[in-house]
């Protein structure tokens, strides 16, 4: 596996608070949470730098990430209140870790999104 920060978390080489795991997806708390619940869901077995690099044969991974987030929301009891999932792609979205991941944000009403920075 190409070495990334999230690869190290997947291999348990650096610590993280892991809150979800199945055969293909790991979920762990973001180190700098932007909402009361902020979990990152990453594919465990494939490293892809950005959403733009996902090939058609890898499309199922995106669904796995989204369904893992939805399952976690149901299990934690906030699915009915609602939540947001986000994938940042490259510079204008502020992507900082180049190992695709899906953010799950929840736990309080969330502000709107998509406004230009500054």
Q: How far apart are CA 38 and CA 28, in angstroms?
A: 9
Picking from 35, 39, 34, the residue whose alpha carbon sits closest to that of residue 16 is 39
Residue 106 interacting with ligand 5GP (CB under 6 A): no
Residue 88 interacting with ligand 5GP (CB under 6 A): yes
Residue 32 interacting with ligand 5GP (CB under 6 A): yes
Cβ-contact 21, 42 below 8 angstroms: no
Residues 6-25 close enough to bind ligand 5GP by CB under 6 A? 16
Would you give the binding string for ligand 5GP spanning residues 50-79, x where CB under 6 A is met? Answer: ------------------------------
Per DSSP, which regions of the chain are E strands? 18-21, 25-29, 37-43, 83-86, 102-106
Pick from 4, 30, 51, 70 the residue near ligand 5GP by CB under 6 A: 30
- The residues assigned a catalytic role are 101
């Amino acid at each position: 596996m190409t070495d990334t920060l999230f690869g190290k978390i997947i291999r348990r080489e650096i610590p993280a608070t892991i809150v979800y795991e199945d055969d293909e997806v790991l979920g762990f708390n973001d180190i700098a949470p932007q909402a009361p619940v902020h979990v990152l869901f990453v594919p465990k077995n494939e490293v892809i730098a950005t959403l733009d690099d996902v090939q058609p044969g890898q499309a199922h991974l995106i669904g796995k990430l989204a369904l893992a987030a939805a399952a976690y929301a149901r299990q934690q009891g906030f699915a009915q209140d609602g939540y947001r999932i986000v994938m940042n792609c490259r510079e204008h979205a502020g992507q900082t870790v180049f190992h695709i991941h899906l953010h799950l944000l929840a736990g309080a009403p969330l502000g709107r999104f998509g406004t230009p920075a500054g």
